Amino acid sequence: MLSHPSENRPANGFLLALALVVALAPSAAFSQPPGEPSGAMQAEAVAPEAPPAGTSQPEAVAPEAPPAGTSQPEAVAPEPPPAGAARGPGAPPAGVPAEPLPAAAPAARAAGPLPAIAAPGGPDPEVPDSRAPLDPGPWAPEWLREADRGPPAAIRDLQATDETAQRLAAPEAGDVAPPPPIPPAKRPPVLIKTILGLIALLALAYLGGHPRMRVIEKRLRISQVVTAGFPFIALGVVANLPSVGILTDSVLDELTPLLRFGLGWIGFAAGYRFDTRAFDDLPKDTAKAVGFATLMPFLTVLTAASLLLLLASDWTESTFRDPIFLRDALILGTAGAMTARAASRLVKGNADYLWLQRFKKIVQLEQLAGIAGLAFIAAYFRPQGPDLGWHLPGTAWIFLTVGLGATIGIVAYTILRRPATGAESVVLLLGTVAFAAGSASALFLSPIVVCFVAGVLLANFPGASKDRLGEALEKLERPIYLLFLVVVGAIWNFEDWRGWVLLVVFVAARLTGKWLGAHLTSRYTNFDTLAHERWISNRAPMGQLSIAIVVSAQLLFPHGSIPIVVTAVIGGAIVTEVLVQVFARKASPTEDVDLDFEAPEEPAPAIPPEVA
């Protein structure tokens, strides 16, 4: 369905991510030096200076410009809020220490107060305090209900200092004033910088697709790392650094919808690949093979992460009953359970067609386990609060998740099956996924799960539109994913050392679990996992769904130890790719490893009855 996109080389990826960087580079002109408040965002008190005359301004109420003919006062950056002023919903709740504990708190990445989108000037009484301790809800099992549901001290510290958490926890506030225009004296340098940035982008795009670059990547054994898109995470990290100041907090706030959309897109694409007819002839023991492949790493990661999180927290009764601890461990386990789809590329060239097809189906079914895990977590560990409607038990939310996905899937089917040109198909697909992702996010559900269900329905309903949709999906999947990775990199809080410690534990536990799973599969089923490659090559790689799961979790649960979980998974994915590259034998004769690779659809050879 999604053929090998030879055109989706890093040229596109670099181009896309760097395009974003260059596109947003001039906003560095407005980025605040570390330590200074983002006063530019609080421009309600000052009439913003409008764009120049004449403009072909947006149809809507334009940001208005002084035309060249009128002498407008230069926009004055408003005074920053006084030190110590409350910072809106993101401010730490009463009683929580505002300053970090010296040993555990992460260093401030972007010093300064929160962006003004979190209600400048003070908490908005109309907006729920999303930083209140999580309440498991009246339907939680009795052992979870506790008078004091506050998170452990280490978690509170994290909540107090993690700006990403605070920003993501803030509900959408009122309109944010646009950055002020650039003063005349600074215009030529900004213009030059912009042009140079575009030239650099052009050069990188040219080089990125050059054959010599591929040779260099091969020599450095980083082809797979590059193809998996991980440099774009690094790009996002760099762009968010205070010294670079490109993807600033205000810009990231504008890009958060893109993050949600990206999650929905990943889930939709995964679901659209789930053609159930392909699973009609599953050989015996496949379920067992999938079970071993997912359960072993899940359990090993869950166990190891639990121990580590316990060591990091205060040993009180509330800790052992705290759902946050369990939730984070489950998220890690779910993310670690799956194998990347690209793993099939690392299988040796002499693998027979049947084996390869079975292997691919097992990998695909593993994704189902990941989706189910995420659905469970999103349903049973929901935020509670008086301003959130629809107070329902966790099981009801599971049904709601599936129901919403199914409803949107049916609507999407009705929408997408109608005849449409290529451009119209793109419009309909974009709109459907954005709507599904937005709906899910608005209900505090995971966009991945809802869009996955919608995608599965769409893939399995009859209709002649599938080829058209598959083409549109393939065309857009990689650019959207790489852009998503840049934003992920920008919101990634990598400075917390606990995340890196958890990474080591996560990788070790996951590889152990994968090894166990591979050997148990080979031993107790009729599928020899190790027939054509080392287990590390065909079981270890982590795919985009794993990263998407933790990012989804971060959006759903901005508090708690999720930021360090994100570090563990993202860092773990990168480390795993490197390990795979180092330890894998030369497998496939083709060198373009790509996430979206599908083995060529050869006609199935005649299968003797005894083999079938």
Partner 1 sequence: MSILLIVALGGLMHAARSFHGDGAGPLGSGTALAFGYVLLTAFFAGRIFKQVRLPKLTGYIAAGMIVGPSVLGLLNHHMVEQLKIVNGVAIALIALTAGNELDFREFRPLLRSIQWITLVAVVGTSMLLGIAVFALKSFLPFMADMPLTHALAVSMVLGVTMAAQSPAVVVALRDEMEADGPVSRTVLGVVVIADLVVILLFALVSSIAKSVFGTPGDAMETVGRLAWEILGSLGAGAMVGVLLAVYLRKVAGGAALFVVTVTFVMAEVGTRLHFDPLLIALAAGVLIRNLTRMGDKLHHEIEASSLPVYVVFFAVAGANIHLDVLALVGIPAAAFVLVRGFGLMAGTKIGARIAEAPETVRRYAGMGLLPQAGLALALALLFAKTFPEFGDDAAALTLGVVALNELIAPAIYRMALMRSGEAGRRAQRPEPTPAAPEGEAVALPPA
Residues in 40-99 that interact with partner 1 by CB under 8 A = 47, 50-72
Structure tokens at 22: 């260059």
* Binding map of partner 1 across residues 104-123, x = CB under 8 A, - = no contact: -------------x------
Identified binder of partner 1 from the candidate list 36, 314, 352, 387, rule CB under 8 A: 387
Identified binder of partner 1 from the candidate list 109, 156, 167, 539, rule CB under 8 A: 167
Provide the 8-state DSSP code for 112. S
Q: Does 3 contact partner 1 by CB under 8 A?
A: yes
Q: 150 vs 257, which CB is nearer to partner 1?
A: 257
Q: How many CA atoms lie within 13 A of 512 on its CB side?
A: 14
* Binding map of partner 1 across residues 530-569, x = CB under 8 A, - = no contact: -------------------------x--------------
Q: Which residues contact 104 (CB under 8 A, 6 or more apart)?
A: 154, 157, 158, 498
Stretch that binds partner 1, among 341-349, 381-389, 559-567, 581-589 (CB under 8 A): 381-389
Q: How far is the CB of 168 from partner 1 (least distance, A)?
A: 6
Q: 250 vs 576, which CB is nearer to partner 1?
A: 250
Q: 337 vs 549, which CB is nearer to partner 1?
A: 549
Residue 593 in contact with residue 8, Cβ under 8 Å? no
Q: Does 190 contact partner 1 by CB under 8 A?
A: yes
Count of residues binding partner 1 (CB under 8 A)? 119
Residue 416 in contact with residue 469, Cβ under 8 Å? yes
Q: How far is the CB of 351 from partner 1 (least distance, A)?
A: 19
Question: What residues numbered 486-525 form the site for partner 1, per CB under 8 A?
Answer: none
Q: 62 vs 530, which CB is nearer to partner 1?
A: 62
Q: 379 vs 573, which CB is nearer to partner 1?
A: 379
Q: 212 vs 219, which CB is nearer to partner 1?
A: 212
* Binding map of partner 1 across residues 266-285, x = CB under 8 A, - = no contact: --------------------
Q: 40 vs 154, which CB is nearer to partner 1?
A: 40
CA distances from residue 256 to 25, 488, 492 in whole angstroms, order as listed: 18, 10, 13
Identified binder of partner 1 from the candidate list 45, 76, 107, 202, rule CB under 8 A: 202
Question: What residues numbered 431-460 form the site for partner 1, per CB under 8 A?
Answer: 431-439, 441-444
Where helices occur in 465-496 by DSSP H, the ranges are: 466-491
Residue 485 in contact with residue 236, Cβ under 8 Å? yes
Please give the angle made by the CA atoms of 351, 547 and 198, to the nearest 5 degrees.
100
Residue 164 in contact with residue 558, Cβ under 8 Å? yes
CB-based burial label for 372 (10 Å; 0-12, 13-18, 19+): middle
**Nearest residue to 448 via CA among 603, 552, 579:** 552
Residue 337 in contact with residue 370, Cβ under 8 Å? yes
Q: Which residues contact 339 (CB under 8 A, 6 or more apart)?
A: 293, 363, 366, 514, 538, 539, 540, 541, 542, 543
Structure tokens at 396: 């009801």
Identified binder of partner 1 from the candidate list 36, 122, 349, 390, rule CB under 8 A: 390
* Binding map of partner 1 across residues 324-343, x = CB under 8 A, - = no contact: --------------------
CA distances from residue 586 to 131, 213, 589, 590 in whole angstroms, order as listed: 50, 20, 8, 10
Q: How far is the CB of 125 from partner 1 (least distance, A)?
A: 10
Structure tokens at 253: 């706030």
d(CA 564, CA 605): 48
Please give the angle made by the CA atoms of 289, 597 and 284, to the nearest 5 degrees.
20
Question: What residues numbered 393-432 form the site for partner 1, per CB under 8 A?
Answer: 407-408, 411, 414-415, 418, 422-424, 426-428, 430-432
Structure tokens at 328: 């984070």
Q: Does 247 contact partner 1 by CB under 8 A?
A: no
Question: What residues numbered 459-488 form the site for partner 1, per CB under 8 A?
Answer: 479
Q: How far is the CB of 215 from partner 1 (least distance, A)?
A: 13
Residue 529 in contact with residue 518, Cβ under 8 Å? yes
Stretch that binds partner 1, among 314-322, 365-373, 387-395, 561-569 (CB under 8 A): 387-395
Q: How far is the CB of 408 from partner 1 (least distance, A)?
A: 7
Q: 432 vs 525, which CB is nearer to partner 1?
A: 432
Quote the distance between the C-alpha of residue 231 and its chain's center: 15
Q: How far is the CB of 454 from partner 1 (least distance, A)?
A: 12
Stretch that binds partner 1, among 80-88, 133-141, 255-263, 298-306 (CB under 8 A): 255-263
